[in-house]
Structure 1
Amino acid sequence: MYPKSPRSRRVAVLAVAAALLVGCQRGTSTGAGPSPTEPARPGCPTDLARAEAATAYAEKPHTMWHGPALGPRATSGKDIVYVAQTMTNPGVAGAAKGVQEAAKVIGWNVRVIDGQGTPAGIQAAFSQAIALRPSGIVLGGFDPGLTSQQVAKATAEHLPLIGWHAVAAPGPSKHPALFTNITTRVEDVAKISADWIIAHSHGHAGVVLFTDASIPFAKNKSDLIRKELATCSGVHLLAQENIPLSDTSSRAPQEVSSLLSRFPDTWTHSVAINDVYFADAAPALRAARRKGAGVPFNIGAGDGDPSAFQRINSRQFQTATVPEPFSQQGWQILDEFNRAFSGGPASGYVAPVHIATAANSGGATTWDPPGYRAVYRRIWGR
């Protein structure tokens, strides 16, 4: 073999340097992304290994209860009112069902009042709840800022208030005054959703992110997802689609069709702040003759309603979701009320994130971790 000329050596060195520079760039562009003919990028081996470990742990079936094991015995004769944002929301309805199920065990009465999904309806429902003079009120899935007058009146009457997805963070809240708020941590949900994409794609993905920028909580979630996706140099954010949750049925199909035209080969994964985006994206993907179990692989960063599980289990345009344990959270709501009635602090428990897929759901249509019912019965003496 003949030795290379100085010019050949310089070309080779420049080529290696260019390849290394490409591999060091972070993938947060909202442009068209890499060309299909572009050489494979080095990816992100360190971040990929971390994402794979986190995803594998989140996908594990839970076999034990890791929540509170101790607490006060059940008080008796309590009446709880669950004010629902709207009972057509599967999450709100799922948590309400858990509250009703737990009430039968602990021996309390529960009444659900539907706010019908409008500010006026929620305010009227909350006012009606206060007029019933219950032992406590649940704020089921709505911003307490919508009902500031009612919250102030309930607080003045020393009625314990517990939120379900009422404010952004789990745990007690001073402003508004909630004994506790029950929800998963948005930081954890956002991170594990992005990590799933990194792991599922082996560090090479073109991603579309669906969000609703009009909702501060949703915008914060999507910002956190972007931040985590950017940790992997081989993952590129192709586009961020801002579609209000109220408009997904009318706008998502058209937007998805446009995305398929813009990124026919580079769009491999999607993540949405709520599973509903994929319910409305499915017709456009089907019309484009995309396979239900093929690209783009979709994950919902939160919720986990029955329709999402049905899409996942049937492999129809959704691959995974990070679900809320609605029933367990309903039981926790009553346990937290019992702690409030007994003069103790909130339990501080926050459900860990879980990733549901067709491989680990067992055909279920909700995420219902085991063990909590028996533990709460034991705590309450029931």
Structure 2
Amino acid sequence: MNHKILSGALLLAAAAFSSAAPAADDPAAAVAKAKAPVVQWQAPPAAPAPAKGKTIYVVTCTSQGIGCVRAANGAKEAGEKLGWTVRVIDGKGDPGTWNSAIQSAIAAGANGIIIDAVPPMLVGDGLARAAAAKIPVVSIFNPPPDAGSPVFAYVRPDHRAQGVLMAKWVAADSGGNANILVVEDKEFPELNERVAGFKAEIVQCGQCKIVGSIESTIGTMAQRLPGAVAAELMRKAKADYIVAPFDSNAFFVTEGVRQAGRSGKVKVAGYEGDPQAIQAIRAGTQAMTIANPAEWMGWQAIDEMNRAFGKAKPANIPVAFRLIDRSNAPATKGWLGDVDFRADYEKLWGKK
């Protein structure tokens, strides 16, 4: 397939399309638009010649966060295409481990560090040491860095727009009459952005109500979340939608729905488009996901790292996303995007 290379105004238009849901759209129209394939590669500016012999460390949020594992796998694959060594460290969902991992990477002589769903504000000491050592840092999933941040570039979707789209889906799917439980993991700023976007938009849905909130953390969700969901469903018998902050979390939400005897009566929705979520959607145990092409994000992070090595400006291109439900769930494991981004990046880097 020939993919149109975007630049300037066209790139901005594509970024707006990837955010899926203009406020003026009615919910059904916004959902239909967001379900369409992402058929254009959002091309960054011309890239510097690939640097040689680099060693990159990727610090993931946790091995339980499938989205960040997928992104790390993408970064490793892309880095190896450039002849680099890419080492992945499991952050284990713990800020102390995240900081020590960054410091270990510095001590090991890393040329670059990727923080993968690791909130920059929780690894300030590590990032300060990386900056002092003149080691570039690229962020995946997190919101844009504040002014003065040592983070060179960020690779992320518009999380708030994803929350808005989620609210439009609930409104359209429920016919404007939903009783919603929201699961919140407040550790991660991007997840807070999703919740904020959802809450701001859901008030536009006539008879939709948020009837409860369930707090969760990535480190404890496997042990605690199913029971917490089951207990909340006992208290909120009218609840018929649960919005999880990401798909790994939605897996345990679904187990809580089963424990409460509410399977088939409560619709579970999530974000990321991870393999187990796509499988659950095809099986009918999860209703939908707002999917990110996580492996593509890993490739994009490596491209940003090469820009840092080449003294170029960061591209900071917004990541495209797509609403996936049973009608358009891919047969492949996870949603990877609908273009051959690997070939496009290799061509950009002069590898094809």
Deviation at 1:234, TM superposition (A): 2.4
Amino acid at match of 1:161: V
CA RMSD of aligned residues (A): 2.4
Kindly state the Cα deviation for residue 48 of structure 1 after the two structures are TM-superposed.
10
Matched with 2:278 is: 309
Aligned partner of 2:279: which letter?
Answer: Q
Q: How many Å apart are 1:220 and its aligned residue? A: 4.1
Deviation at 1:358, TM superposition (A): 2.4
Deviation at 1:217, TM superposition (A): 4.6
C-alpha contact 1:321 1:357 (8 A) present in aligned 2: yes
TM-score (norm 1): 0.78
Output aligned runs, 1:209-358, within 5 Å.
Answer: 209-213=182-186, 217-264=190-237, 266-291=238-263, 294-300=264-270, 302-316=271-285, 318-358=286-326
Structure 1 residue ranges, 4+ long, deviating more than 6 angstroms after superposition: none
Aligned to 1:153: 129
Offset, 1:288: 4.6
Q: Which amino acid aligns with 1:297?
A: K
> Partners of 2:92 and 2:268 in 1: how far apart?
30
Shift of 1:287: 4.2
Instruction: Give the superposition deviation at 1:259.
Output: 3.9
Q: Say whether 1:372 aligns with 2:341.
A: yes
The letter of the residue matching 2:274 is D
**For the residues of structure 1 that align with 2:187 and 2:52, how far apart are their CA atoms?**
43
SS at match of 1:63: coil
- Answer yes or no: is the 8 Å Cα contact 1:85–1:141 preserved in 2: yes
Does residue 138 (structure 1) correspond to residue 107 (structure 2)? The answer is no
Deviations 1:41-65 (A, max 9, x none): xxxxxx8962212211111122331
Residue in 2 aligned with 1:117?
93
What letter matches 1:228 in structure 2?
Answer: E
TM-score computed with the length of structure 2 as normaliser: 0.84
User: Distance between the aligned counterparts of 1:116 and 1:245, measured in 2?
Assistant: 9
Equivalent pair of 1:183/1:350 in contact (CA under 8 Å): yes
Residue 56 of structure 2 corresponds to residue 91 of structure 1? no
Q: For the structure 1 residues 311 and 345, does the alpha-carbon distance in structure 2 shift closer, same or farther, using more than 3 Å as the test?
A: same
1:295 Cα shift? 2.7
- Paired residue for 2:35, among 59, 64, 70? 59
Q: What is the Cα deviation at residue 69 of structure 1?
A: 6.0
- For residue 197 of structure 1, report the CA deviation from its aligned partner: 0.7
Equivalent position of 1:191 in the other structure:
164
SS of equivalent to 2:320: coil
Greater Cα shift, 85-94 or 175-184: 85-94
Distance 1:175 1:337, change over 3 A: same
Q: Over residues 295-350 of structure 1, what are the superposed CA-to-partner deviations in whole Å (9 max), with x where a residue is unaligned?
A: 322211x333322222112112x111112211101100111111122221111211
Between 242-251 and 153-162, report the one with greater CA deviation.
Answer: 242-251
Change over 3 Å in CA distance of 1:131–1:364 after alignment to 2: same
Q: Is the 8 A contact 1:51 1:198 kept in 2?
A: yes
Q: For 1:334 and 1:215, how far apart are their aligned partners in 2?
A: 23
Deviation of 1:276 after TM superposition, in Å, equals 3.4
Gaps of 5+ in 1: 1-46
Pairwise CA distance, 1:267: 2.5
Structure 2: segments with no counterpart, 5+ residues: 1-22
Match of 1:70 in 2: 46
Is the 1:48–1:203 Cα contact (8 Å) retained in structure 2? no
Distance 2:182 2:342 in 1: 36
Deviation at 1:240, TM superposition (A): 2.2
Q: Once the two structures are superposed, what CA deviation does each residue of 1:216-249 show, in whole Å capped at 9, x if it has no partner?
A: 5534432321111101212222222233443433
CA change 1:244–1:86 in 2 (3 A) is closer
Query: Residues 125 and 248 of structure 1: is their aligned pair in 2 closer, same or farther, counting only changes over 3 Å?
Result: closer
In 1, Cα distance between the equivalents of 2:147 and 2:112?
A: 17
2:143 pairs with one of 168, 179, 199:
168
Number of aligned residue pairs: 328
Q: Distance in 2 between matches of 1:238 and 1:178?
A: 38
Work out the CA distance in 2 between the residues paired with 1:288 and 1:129: 45
**SS of the residue 2:180 aligns to:** strand
Which amino acid letter does the alignment assign opposite residue 244 of structure 2? A
The alignment partner of 1:151 has SS state of helix
What code does the residue aligned with 2:158 have?
R
CA distance in 2, matches of 1:312, 1:122: 32
Q: Does 1:127 align with 2:127?
A: no
